[in-house]
Chain A
Amino acid sequence: MEVIPYFLSGLIIGSVYGLITLGLSLIFGVLRVANVAHGSFVMIGAYVAFFGFTLWGAPPPAAGIGALALGAGLGALVYYVVVKPLMKAGELNILVALFALGLLIAEAARMAWGPDFRGYTWSIGSVSLGGLVLELSKALGALTALATAVGLEVFLRRTYFGRAVRAVVQDPVGAQVVGIDVERVFLLSTAMGVGITTMGGVMLTLFIPVGINPYMGGIYTLISFVIAVMGGLGSIMGAYMAGLLFGVFQSVGYYVFSLMGFAQPFEMALFLAFVLLLLILLFKPTGLFRL
Chain B
Amino acid sequence: MALSVQNLSSGYGRLQVLFGISLEVPDKSVISLLGPNGAGKSTTLWTVMGVVRPWEGMVLLGGTDVTKVPPHKKVELGLALVPEGRRLFPEMTVEENLLMGAFTKRARDKMQDTLEFVYALFPRLKERRRQKAGTMSGGEQQMLAIARALMSRPRVLLVDEPSAGLAPKVVSDLFQTVKRLKEEMSVLLVEQNVAAALEISDYAYVIENGRIILQGKPEELAANEHVKKAYLGV
Contact = CB atoms under 8 A, between A and B. Distances in A.
Interface in A161-197: 163-164, 166-167, 170-171, 173-182
Interface in B161-197: none
Given A174-B89, A179-B152, 7 more contacts: A163-B99, A170-B90, A173-B51, A174-B83, A176-B71, A179-B104, A181-B72
A177 B71 contact: yes
B90 A171 contact: yes
A291 interface: yes
A166 B70 CA distance: 21
Contact of A177 (B76, B87, B90, B107): B87
A167 B72 CA distance: 14
A173 B83 contact: yes
A179 B104 CA distance: 6
Contact of B149 (A160, A164, A177): A177
A89 B188 CA distance: 34
Interface residue range, chain B = 20 to 34
Nearest to A157: B96
Interface centre among B75, B80, B87, B152, by most chain A C-beta atoms within 10 angstroms, is B87
B51 A177 contact: yes
B23 interface: no
Contacts of B86: 174
Contacts of A171: 87-90
Interface residues of A, number: 19
A24 B148 CA distance: 31
B87 A166 contact: no
Interface in B135-149: 148-149
Contact of A167 (B49, B81, B89, B149): B89
A182 B72 contact: yes
A177 B70 CA distance: 10
A177 B49 contact: yes
Nearest to B45: A177
A198 B151 CA distance: 39
Contacts of B90: 170-171
A290 interface: yes
Nearest to A168: B89
B225 interface: no
B91 interface: yes
Contacts of A166: 89, 91-92
B101 interface: yes
Contacts, number: 63
A170 B92 contact: yes
Given A178-B152, A181-B72, A167 B100 contact: yes
B83 A170 contact: no
Interface in B185-215: none
Nearest to B81: A177
Contact of B70 (A173, A178, A181): A181
Contact of B75 (A167, A177, A291): A177
Interface centre among A174, A177, A180, A291, by most chain B C-beta atoms within 10 angstroms, is A177
Contacts of B231: none
24 contacts: A160-B103, A166-B91, A167-B89, A167-B92, A170-B90, A170-B92, A171-B87, A171-B89, A171-B90, A173-B83, A174-B86, A177-B71, A177-B80, A177-B81, A177-B83, A178-B103, A178-B151, A178-B152, A179-B152, A180-B72, A180-B103, A181-B72, A182-B72, A290-B91
A176 B100 contact: no
Interface string A242-268: 000000000000000000000000000
A164 B89 contact: no
Contacts of B72: 176, 179-182
B91 A178 contact: no
Contacts of A164: 103
A124 to B, nearest CB: 41
Given A166-B92, A181-B70, A181-B72, A174 B87 contact: yes
Nearest to A176: B71
A291 B151 CA distance: 24
B87 A173 contact: yes
Nearest to B90: A170
Interface string A46-77: 00000000000000000000000000000000
A115 B88 CA distance: 51
A175 to B, nearest CB: 8
Q: Which 7 A-B pairs have the closest CB atoms?
A: A179-B75, A174-B87, A179-B104, A170-B89, A181-B72, A179-B103, A179-B72
B146 to A, nearest CB: 12
A73 B171 CA distance: 51
Interface in B59-98: 70-72, 75-76, 80-81, 83, 86-92, 96
A164 to B, nearest CB: 7
